[in-house]
Every structure is written in structure tokens, then in C-alpha cells.
Structure 1
């Protein structure tokens, strides 16, 4: 329904009314005070409207069992007379703008089973009396609560869901939480909790969800968590946990999600993780894990997300990665992986959507099988040692050149035409046109033998103003002094006498700028200059592809 308007004050003239349900409408205005006079009222549901103002007095609602005021715009504090509601079973004021502290008298609501005060602006400490409630669901998340978790919280033996997330709670995790043997979900994320994860947490054998991320927890991940055989979701991200990942976690046969992102974990990934057949999301990123990329992970056949980025994994990517038939996202970036990109990734043509292998030491060509990945919309292979042509077929038309930047031996399969759209000053409006030039050099010694003037003739493309297209980007890279490109200096102009040097691996060349002929054209590099080559060069043959385009004169 979409009822609009306000609730009439005449509602107080219905003394026998037992239930009010206006849930999910467009009612607004304040909740009339007269509603407090309805002494027979047992059920009040005004959720998902636009009510404002304060919660009316509760003193006459001695028979009230259900209050649902969530998803409104209520302000003010919780009425102190909430302690009179001894038959109240469910109290939900989630998503309002309530302030103040949680009243100590809340502990007198002895029939309360579900209390949700989340997404408000409550402050202060969690009252100790709350531990006397025989409650099944307690949600106080996303408020401004501070202080410690009540040390008597283990008295809430009926508790199935505990959510204290996104507050300012501090102190250690109480080991007594482990006595909550009926608890199903515990969310303490987004606080300032410190100290270790208590081994006693391994006693919560009915636990399905454990979220401790975004705290300041230290110490090791307790092996006792492996006793939680019903655990479905474990998130320990953004803490200061250290040590190894315990093998006992592989006993959590129902584990679907494991996230230990951004901790200080070391060592290798347990080989026993291959037993986690129910796992779909695994995030081990931003730690200090090392060793070969574990093939055990490629046996977790239901994985759809695998993130091993920002670690110290080394060696090749196992070809068995292509056996993960449900894989959607793969992030192996910022490791020490080498070898080739396995062509078996082509087996994932109907599933995989994201691949990030950037900042490794991968070599060889980009497998053409990757062009068959129909759903791939994000690809990052930048900053490796890949070589050969960049494929242009099928899905590769979606990717910009930034996906391949930083691979010195990787080049487009056809020449690139680049135009300079930079605004030009009037005094720098004159441009120079340079053509694509192939220069074949015979080089064996680190430095060319002969005079600097002789070496000029070998590199006819050097000039006063030079813009070097070295990064496979769609925009030319502006020339800077001593700019590092492909782990070496590309070109450097010396201001005193125009000397330039060019570094290609271990080969160093230097010489003065050359005077260009007035006639332009693409041809052999030596035919475009007045000088003939006199320097001595011998050894292995290296082919250079130099890409240049119209540029304004610039100062270096």
C-alpha cells in the first residue's frame, strides 16, 4: 500500500485497539501522543515510513509485545519507561536518528528476544544490565558506542546473533564470549578492539559467521578456530595478525569465505586447503606469504574469487588454474611470479570477468586463448616482461593500452598513430614530423667504439626536442631528464653541448644531436642524415622500433 498523510490524533479514541500495522507506506509527521493511551495495544508496526519526532511515552503499554519503528526519521532518546514493557518481545528502531545512551533499565525487559538499535546515533557504554536479558538477537551496530564489551556477556546464553560492529569499542576480546555455545553470527568488525583472538572462540561450535575485520587485533590466528566445523564466513581482514595460517582451518569443511587481507601473516599456504571444497571466496592479499603459488588452491573447485595480491609468491602460475571452472575474479598482482601466462586460462571463457597479473616477472607472449574469454571486462598485465604482439581480436578491443604498460618487449600488432592534442603556446607552435623508423644495429660491446661524432650517424632519430613513445599508452609520455623507462634510461639530453645518450639494456650509446635533411620520408635511418656511419659496431643483431609523432619544441 502507499497510504500518505499523517495519523490522526483521534486514534486515541479507540481504547480496545490491540494491533496497528501501517508498515511500508508514506506516512509522515509525528507519531501522535494519543497512541500511548491505547492500553490494550500489543502490536505496533510503523516501520518503513517517514515518521519524524520522538517516540511517544511507553508507560501505558504494559501488554505490548512488538514495537517496529525501523526505517523512519525519529529523533530524541529512548524513553526511560521502556523498563515497564515486561512483555515486550521484539523492539526494532533500526535506521533512525536516535541519540543518547542506552538506558540501564533495558535489563528489566525480561521477555525481550530481539532488540535492534542499529544505525542510529546512540553513544556511551553498553549497559551492564543488558547481559541479564534472555535475548536471541542483539544488534547495536553503526552507532557511537564506546568502552569495553561487557565482561558478563556470557550470561546471554540464548544469544544467536550478536552485532556490535562499527562502533568505537575498545579493549580485548572477552574470552568468555567462547561460552556462547548457541551463537550463530558474531560481528565485531569496525571497532578498536585489541589483543589476540581468544582460543576459547573455538568453543562456539554453532558459529556460522565470524567477522572481526577492521580492528587492531594482534597475535596468531588460533588453531582452535578449526573446531568450528559449521563456520561459513570468516573475515579477519585489516588487523595486525601475524604468524602462519593454521592448517586446522582446513577442518572447517563448510567454509565459504575466508578473508585475511592486510595482516602480517607469513609462511606458505597450507596444502590442506585443497579440502575446502565449499570455498567460493579466498582473499589472502597484502600479507607476507611466500613460496610457489600453491597448486592446492586450484583444487578448490568452487572458487569464484581468488586474491593473492601483494605477497611474495614466486615461481610460475600453475596451469591447473584453468581447472577453476567457476572463477570470476583472479588477482595475482604485486608478487614475484615468473614464467608464462598459462594458456589454460582460456578454459574459463564463459566465466572469468577480471584478471590482474600486474607487477610480476611474467614473460613470453600473451596467449591467444585469452581473446576467447567472452566475459572478461578487466585485464591488467602491466609491468611484467611480456613480449611479442598485443592481441587485437575479440575481447581485447575493450582494453586500453594501460593494461599492458611497463612491458618493454611488448608491442602492438600494428603501428600506432598518435596525435598530440596538447595546447600549444604561440611561440612553440612550430612542430616537427618524425616517421616510424626501423633501425637495425649490430652491437656486442656495452659502449660504441669510435668518436662521439661517429656514433651520431647510427642514431639518426636524436634531436633537440624529443617525445618518446615507450609506454604503449594512448597519450604520449612527455620527455623528462633522466626519466626511467623499462628499468633503464631511455634518452637524456645534456644541456651543455646537446649530448644525448640512450640505454638499451646493457648497450650504451651517446652522441650529439644531428642535423636533419630538409626532405622528409621514411627510409633507412642512415640515408636521412649527412653523415655516414664510421663507428665500429659488431656482435648480435638488435631491432629497434622507434615511434614518434608531431610535437612542439620543448625545453628539457
Structure 2
């Protein structure tokens, strides 16, 4: 075994590597190596069982000699600059593969997923990831199109643990081979399917989510976001291991099912930007570990239920762009919204973190973990949230520190509850575009960590509490288009950075 990963190595692979023909495991991941794999003595390593070249700058086409690496169990070429066509007979010959990651390169042409049909040991396939997961210039998602339905009716021999086909230009119904992943393997105890991670976001899938998806009792991470899926939401109450659910950016309609979810482990629920209507079902109130609840951009209505306050672990809540009416629940002041506890670390990696067994997706000479546990491959939790008047994407460890409440663009009435001043850890609060009245509570001056406070487009009156000038982290502040009057706040500290747009249409009522 030769493991040189996560160093600062540069240049090309030396041709002298051919002097290790019996090498079984080679990891060069996480370096700055470049050049082509052609003519570098690489082809003499055909006894390899594990090859990890991820997160480098390798380029050019894959050498044909890879066709002879028939003992390969792990092949990770992700996040490089490899190019060329993948339609060669190379992959069908590598039937010992258990883990393959070709994502974030520059491969072209059409790639048939049926190339893996006879790979009975295959457990992890990663062909696409979201482009915004990668911060190195030049590492774009592949240009190839994945073909999943040719030949018609092909039957896989594999039972996957993890599949990521995000941003792979897929269209039509969900891939037909998935029906074999949704079925239980009768040889497994409890007849549970193996699939724990399914990432199909940023494609053009349409049609309905198959009801069989609810049979995935081991599922922990399900992402079908940013597609054109329609119909009603299926009940996912059998997914009792589910931790992260992303259904946003589709065309789902109807009510949120009463028995929608039943996972005590759920951390993220994102069903924004669909066509869901009705009220928030009681089943959501039982998700007591929930950290992120994103329901914005739907047609939901009625009062915001006080039962949401049972979700005391929430750090991000987005109910914006709906038709909610009535008052803001006073008990929102008792939700944590970012208040950290010493033991908290559910989205990121800490220095003291030790991997847990059920995150291990490959074990050999090398190990591969899903999500945040791998120093090389980070399929971390990621959400979008509007703050500072812009939509930002937050992922991984930053989610431990980001907190916000967005109730904007509804029909909320009544006064701003003074209890919201108890949210001393919150960083973004958006109550704009409602029908709120009364004065701005002085208690908001206790929001010591707040960076964005938007109260614009309401019917608020009275003066701006002078105590707000003590909010030292405030970067965005707006009370525009209200009935504010009285003194202009002192232009000191952060308030010295706000221009007239923060007070537009109110200024004429103020004392100068």
C-alpha cells in the first residue's frame, strides 16, 4: 500500500512507479499533481485493488490499459480535469468494483449506466455532484450525458448503498434500474434494502415519485431537488433513518400528507418552491431533532401553528412566500435559532470527531465515508437561505453557526412579539412584506449576533428604538415603507453604514 494523500505534492507521477507492479493500493488524493496518466509507468500497476487520484489536476484521456485493472475494488478519479469519452469497454470489464467516483471532470459523450449491469459487488456510484460544491477553478461537472434506459429492461446485479447522479442531464422518469434498488433483498435480515443515499438533484426528471421509494427503510439522505417532479408527496413514514430530505424546486402539489414523515433522526427538511397548499401537518411537529425547516415558496395558508415551537432545535426556518395569516407565535422566542451547545456538531467535521460505522461506505486498505466524514469527499448538507437581501448557499460546518427566521411575504398581522428579543444567537430575521403593526420592540436590541434585520413593507409605527445602535454585527437593516416617525437613529457604529434606502418612505415623517 502507498498512501501519499493530502500533502502538497505537485508535478507528474514519476515513471519509476512502474517498479511497484505488485502494489495493491495507491492513494494520491488531495494533492496538486498534474499531467496525463499516459506514459508514466502507470500501466504496470495492473494488480491494483484500490486507486484514488481524486482532487488533483490530472488531465487527458484515461489510458486504455485501465481495461486490464480487473482487480480494482475502488476507483476514485473525481475532481480532476480528465476528458474524453467514457463509452469504451473499460468499465464493463472492471467487475470487481465496489466504489467508483468519476464526478467533477470534463468527460464528454454519452455514458450508459448499464455498463455496470454485471458488477454484482458494486455499492457506491458517484457520477455527478452539484457544481457549487467545488471551489477550484476548472473543476466542473462532466459534460457527458448519462443514459440509464438502454438497453430497455436491463436488470442490474448490484445492490447499491449510495448513488449520486446530480447534474447529469437526466430527463424523463426516474431511472428504471432504481426499481431493483427499491426492492428488498430477501437474503438480508429484516428484508431491508441497502440504499442509504440517493442524490438525483439538478436534472430534468418528471412524473411522480414512485410509492416504492417508501420501502427504503435504511435511507438517510434523499435529494431529488431541482427537477420537474409532480403529483402529491408520498408518505415517507417508513424511512425511520432519514436525516436529510431535499424535495425543493419541483412541482409537487396538494396537501403535505398527515403521515408524511416519521423519522426521529431528521435534521433537514427542504420542500421549498413547490405548489403545496393547506396547513402544516401535525406530523412535522414530532420531528424533535429538526435543525432546518424550509417551506418557503409554496401556497401554504392558515395561522402559523404554535406547535412549531416544539421544534426547539431549529436553527434555520423559512416560511416565506406563502399565505400564512394571523400573528407571529410568541413562543418562537423559545426556539434555539443557532444557540450552540458544546456537544453540537451534526453538519460538519470537528477536530475531535471520530467516524461512525454507518457512515462507512467502503472499507479496504483505504476507507471512504459519506458526507462530512471524509477529508477528501464532502457530500455535506447544504441549504439556501435569504439573508442580507441575497440568497446564500450554506453547507457543512457553517450550518453550525448560521441561524435565521424568514417569515417574509405572507399576510401576517398583529405586533412583533417582544419575545423575539430572546433570540440572542440569531443572525438573520426577515419579517418584511406583511401587515404587521405596532412599534418595533426594544427587546430586538438583545439580538447581539444579528447581521440582517428586515422589517420593511409593513404597517409599523412609532420610533426606531435607539438601543438598536448597539447591534455591532448588523450589516443590513431596513424599516422602509412603514409608518415610522420620530428621531433618526444616531449614525454611529453599524448605523453609520446604512443609507437612506433603509428608511425609504419613512424619512419625511422623522424629526431632523
| TM class by smaller structure | 0.7 to 0.9
d(CA) in 2 for partners of 1:36, 1:301: 56
Distance apart, 1:101 and its partner CA: 2.2
Partner of 1:345: 444
Residue 240 of structure 2 is aligned to residue 222 of structure 1: no
d(CA) in 2 for partners of 1:306, 1:397: 25
Deviations 1:155-207 (A, max 9, x none): 371111111111121211111111000010011111111111112x1211100
Q: Pick one of 307, 317, 322 that aligns with 1:282.
A: 317
Q: Is the 8 A contact 2:113 2:146 kept in 1?
A: no
- 1:315-330 maps to which residues of 2 (within 5 A)? 315-330=414-429
Deviations 1:487-520 (A, max 9, x none): xxxxxxxxxxxxxxxxxxxxxxxxxxxxxxxxxx
Partner of 1:67: 75
Deviations 1:251-298 (A, max 9, x none): 000110011111111111121111101111100000111111222322
Distance apart, 1:148 and its partner CA: 1.3
Partner of 1:17: 23
Deviations 1:527-552 (A, max 9, x none): xxxxxxxxxxxxxxxxxxxxxxxxxx
Q: Is the 8 A contact 1:338 1:362 kept in 2?
A: yes
- 1:78-117 maps to which residues of 2 (within 5 A)? 78=86, 79-99=88-108, 100-117=110-127
Q: Is the 8 A contact 1:42 1:65 kept in 2?
A: yes
218 and 125 in structure 1: CA distance in 2 versus 1, 3 angstrom threshold: farther
d(CA) in 1 for partners of 2:279, 2:157: 39
Distance apart, 1:125 and its partner CA: 3.9
2:325 is paired with a residue whose SS is strand
315 and 288 in structure 1: CA distance in 2 versus 1, 3 angstrom threshold: same
Distance apart, 1:408 and its partner CA: 5.8
2:117 is paired with a residue whose SS is helix
Partner of 2:33: 27
d(CA) in 2 for partners of 1:210, 1:25: 33
Q: Is the 8 A contact 1:124 1:146 kept in 2?
A: no
Partner of 2:60: 53
d(CA) in 1 for partners of 2:248, 2:502: 31
Distance apart, 1:305 and its partner CA: 0.6
d(CA) in 2 for partners of 1:378, 1:31: 51
RMSD over aligned CA atoms reads: 2.1
Distance apart, 1:9 and its partner CA: 5.7
136 and 130 in structure 1: CA distance in 2 versus 1, 3 angstrom threshold: farther
- The structure number with the bigger radius of gyration is 1
d(CA) in 2 for partners of 1:263, 1:390: 37
d(CA) in 2 for partners of 1:14, 1:408: 77
375 and 38 in structure 1: CA distance in 2 versus 1, 3 angstrom threshold: closer
Task: Report the number of matched residues.
Answer: 411
Residue 165 of structure 2 is aligned to residue 144 of structure 1: no
d(CA) in 2 for partners of 1:184, 1:265: 27
d(CA) in 2 for partners of 1:48, 1:198: 38
Q: Pick one of 488, 497, 500 that aligns with 1:398.
A: 497
d(CA) in 2 for partners of 1:320, 1:223: 30
Q: Pick one of 162, 166, 183 that aligns with 1:155.
A: 183
Q: Is the 8 A contact 1:102 1:122 kept in 2?
A: no
405 and 62 in structure 1: CA distance in 2 versus 1, 3 angstrom threshold: same
Partner of 1:174: 210
Partner of 1:265: 300
d(CA) in 2 for partners of 1:235, 1:129: 33
249 and 103 in structure 1: CA distance in 2 versus 1, 3 angstrom threshold: closer
2:260 is paired with a residue whose SS is helix
Residue 231 of structure 2 is aligned to residue 203 of structure 1: no
Partner of 2:50: 43
d(CA) in 2 for partners of 1:318, 1:382: 20
Deviations 1:366-408 (A, max 9, x none): 1112122122121000000011111115332121111001126
d(CA) in 2 for partners of 1:130, 1:116: 19
Q: Pick one of 125, 140, 145 that aligns with 1:123.
A: 145
d(CA) in 1 for partners of 2:410, 2:241: 33
331 and 297 in structure 1: CA distance in 2 versus 1, 3 angstrom threshold: same
Q: Is the 8 A contact 2:116 2:156 kept in 1?
A: no
Q: Is the 8 A contact 1:246 1:270 kept in 2?
A: no
126 and 9 in structure 1: CA distance in 2 versus 1, 3 angstrom threshold: same
- 1:453-472 maps to which residues of 2 (within 5 A)? none
Where does the alignment leave 5 or more consecutive residues of structure 2 unmatched?
1-6, 129-140, 185-192, 339-402
Where does the alignment leave 5 or more consecutive residues of structure 1 unmatched?
415-556
Partner of 1:432: none
Partner of 2:342: none
410 and 130 in structure 1: CA distance in 2 versus 1, 3 angstrom threshold: farther
1:76 is paired with a residue whose SS is strand
